[in-house]
Structure formats: C-alpha cells, structure tokens
Amino acid sequence: MERLLEVKDLQVSFKTYAGEVKAVRGVSFHVDRGETVAVVGESGCGKSVTMQAIMRLIPMPPGVIKNGTIIFDGKDITKLSEKEMEHIRGSEISMVFQDPMTSLNPTMKVGAQIAEGLIKHQKMHPSKAREKAIEMLKLVGIPNAEKRVDQYPHEFSGGMRQRAMIAIALACNPKLLIADEPTTALDVTIQAQILDLMRDLQKKLNTAIIIITHNLGVVANLAQRVLVMYAGKIIERGSLDEIFYNPRHPYTWGLLMSVPTPELDKNKRLASIDGTPPDLFAPPVGCAFAARCEYAMRICYEKYPEDFPVSDGHSAACWLLHPMAPKVKPPVGKGVTL
C-alpha cells in the first residue's frame, strides 16, 4: 500500500504560566491510502493535539511545535505557507470534531456549509455545489435531502447534525479524514449507521481514516490498525487483531480489561487502572506508566524503554519485551506467553 501520511518525531508543547506542558513527546506513525487507523488512550494523552498538529490548528502561542516532520502526499506540510495549508484543509484533509453543535455554523444553512468548500477550493459553480450538497446529504442517509439542504443546524437532531458534519468533511473527497470521537454523543443505533457510512464511503472513495475514540467496540468495528498512546507517546502499535489478541504493553492490557462486554459476570468487579497519568510538566525519565504498572522493574524508572518489535507492524515500548526480562503471561488476549 502507498504511504499517504508520515509523521516523524513530532513534539508539541504548550507554554503556560505554570510551565511547559509536554503534550506530545516524540510521536512517529504513518497512514496508508485507504486504510483506517484508530488512536486510543486515556484522556489528556495527546491524541487531539497530535491531530491538530497535522491540520496545523495548534493555537500558537501557547503551543509550540518543537520538532518533527509531517509528510502528507509527498509534501512536508510543516513547511507550507498558511495559504497553501488552507487549501489542504479544505480539500485534502478533513476533520470531524467531537461536538457537531460547536463546529457547525449556527447562522448558516446546512447546504451552504457543505457547498462553501466546493465553491472556494474546487471553484465549483454555486448551483452545481448545491446539487452536490444534496447528493452528499443523501449519501449520509438524511431523508428529504432536497428540503433539509435549506435548513439550519438547530433544525436537525443530534444524529443528523453529526451526519451533516461528515457530509461537509467528505464533500471534497479528501484523501484523509480525521474523526475525533465522532460518535460519542450518539446512541448505538445511530452510531452504527455512522460507522457503516464511514466504511462505505471509504470503499467508494478510498479515503484514509484516522479515528480517535475511547470506545473499543468502535475500534474493533472499524479499524485495521491501532495506535495506543500514553502520556504523549505511542506505547504500542499493531494490526487490529494483534492489539486485541496479542497485546504486549501493560497499559494496553489495563485498557482492554476495563471494558465491560455483554458477557461480563456481574459478581466480579470491573478491572480498572488505578492511579493517575503522570504530570506532563515534568514527565518521568523512564517509562511514564511505571508508577501505575504492577510489573515495573528497576530499569523502568531509569530508562525509557525502546520500541521492541513483536511481529510485522506490531511493536511495544516496554521493558518486559527485553530478552533478559522475566516472562509474564498477559492477563488479556489469547494468552500468548512473552
């Protein structure tokens, strides 16, 4: 498969009165054309900031990109002018934000919001853009699209607004769609419709998708690859099945074990990860998870673990994978011994 996006050693900080928040601390990953990559991890671990950096939407100040290259479709987008970047945002990379009400313009008709980018970036004729807007609303499953196109966001229900956001994001046939918690506010039946829709569109248009979510059911449903983040770094990465069935990082184990499944026994307590994530003003020198990890060894506090390969495309940053480390049986997955 062909590379679409390659992020190398991205470091983003925020300078606040209390000091420097090291929000993203050296993140590298890639996305191929037409594939779906899920990003998971605890609140505050840097998922949204990483995506904002790709879109060049980090508020500066207080934000600073301290290091890193972002190659998109062959171009280093950290070097583009704001004008060139605006074009990329309007027609090559689209983002769906978590809250559709704050990211739709309440004073503008939904159809006009879909057409806006087409007129501006693809120089489409307004009447043609309106037709395309209707077509997009139909595509995202909004009934009565001819009528709905002239309505305002507040006349749409929550689920319809979310679909309208997706229609805007996809109208320009982007090469990359970044969806930040796109279904959190929706109930399961509408969530299912949206996931199906994203999958269909991806098949039709070969769009690559990065989805950020803390719903591991959504990950299992949609993703081909998974990145697990913790305290500003990617601590494990691999194919969907490798992450769910052969996870190697204790944080990933904790994450997978915290999720209830319909089969879960009521008389058992839910597993949870005790403690809190580290302070990003002064992140620990060693493994950032050490203070909460029941397997932590001395070296874990002293030295950051390198990325140990597990199999093709699967690696984890954990000292347990070092050949000299004690063998530990993962408490989740299909029980492969390390």
Partner 1 sequence: MTGQENALIEINNLKKYFNVGRGAVLKAVDDVNLKIMEGETLGLVGESGCGKTTLGRTVIRLYEPTGGEVLFEGKNVHKLQGQELRGFNRKAQMIFQDPYASLNPRMTVADIIGEGIDIHGLYKNRERTERIYELLNLVGLNKEHANRFPHEFSGGQRQRIGIARALAVEPKFIVCDEPISALDVSIQAQVVNLLMELQQKFKLTYLFIAHDLSMVKYVSDRIAVMYLGVVVELATSEDLHKSPLHPYTQALLSAIPIPDPETERKKKRILLEGDVPSPINPPEGCRFAKRCRHAKPVCTEKQPEFKEVEKNHFVACHLY
Ligand X SMILES: Nc1ncnc2c1ncn2[C@@H]1O[C@H](COP(=O)(O)OP(=O)(O)OP(=O)(O)O)[C@@H](O)[C@H]1O
Interface residues toward partner 1, by CB under 8 A: 42-43, 143, 157-160, 184, 186-193, 195-196, 214-221, 240-241, 244-245, 254-256, 258-262, 264, 266, 269-274, 276
**Choice between 71 and 271, CB closer to ligand SF4:** 271
Q: Is 54 in the site for ligand SF4 (CB under 6 A)?
A: no
Q: Is 213 in the site for Mg ion (CB under 5 A)?
A: no
Contact 238, 253 (CB under 8 A): no
**Choice between 43 and 81, CB closer to ligand X:** 43
For 50, phi then psi, to 5°, come to -60, -45
Q: Is 319 in the site for ligand SF4 (CB under 6 A)?
A: yes
Question: Among the candidate windows 41-49, 73-81, 259-267, 300-308, which touches Mg ion by CB under 5 A?
Answer: 41-49
305 CB neighbour count, 10 Å cutoff: 21
Q: Is 287 in the site for ligand SF4 (CB under 6 A)?
A: yes
Helix axes 126-139, 110-121, angle to 10 degrees: 120
Q: What is the C-alpha separation between 214 and 219, in angstroms, rounded?
A: 8
Burial bucket for residue 253 (CB in 10 Å: 0-12, 13-18, 19+): buried
Q: Is 222 in the site for ligand SF4 (CB under 6 A)?
A: no
Q: What is the C-alpha separation between 189 and 159, in angstroms, rounded?
A: 10
The SS3 of residue 270 is coil
Pairing of the two strands 314-316 and 233-239: antiparallel
State which of residues 305, 308, 330, 333 lies at the interface with ligand SF4 (CB under 6 A): 305
Q: Is 44 in the site for ligand X (CB under 6 A)?
A: yes
* Binding residue count for Mg ion, defined by CB under 5 A: 1
x/- binding map, residues 268-297, to ligand X, per CB under 6 A?
Answer: ------------x-----------------
Q: Report the residue number whose CB is nearest to Mg ion.
A: 48
Instruction: Tell which positions 150-179 bind ligand SF4, by CB under 6 A.
Output: none
Question: Among the candidate windows 42-50, 82-90, 116-124, 289-297, which touches Mg ion by CB under 5 A?
Answer: 42-50
DSSP 160-217: HHHHHHHHHHHTT--SEEEEESTTTTS-HHHHHHHHHHHHHHHHHH--EEEEE-S-HH
Q: Name the binder of 289 from ligand X, partner 1, ligand SF4, none, CB < 5-8 A by kind.
A: ligand SF4
Question: Could you tell me which of 144, 149, 159, 142 has the C-alpha nearest to residue 109?
Answer: 149
Residues 6+ apart with CB under 8 A from 275: 291, 292
**Choice between 162 and 246, CB closer to Mg ion:** 162
Judged by the rule CB under 6 A, the positions of this chain that interact with ligand SF4 are 249-250, 287, 289-290, 293, 295-297, 300, 305, 318-320
Judged by the rule CB under 6 A, the positions of this chain that interact with ligand X are 14, 16, 21, 23, 41, 43-49, 59, 62, 280
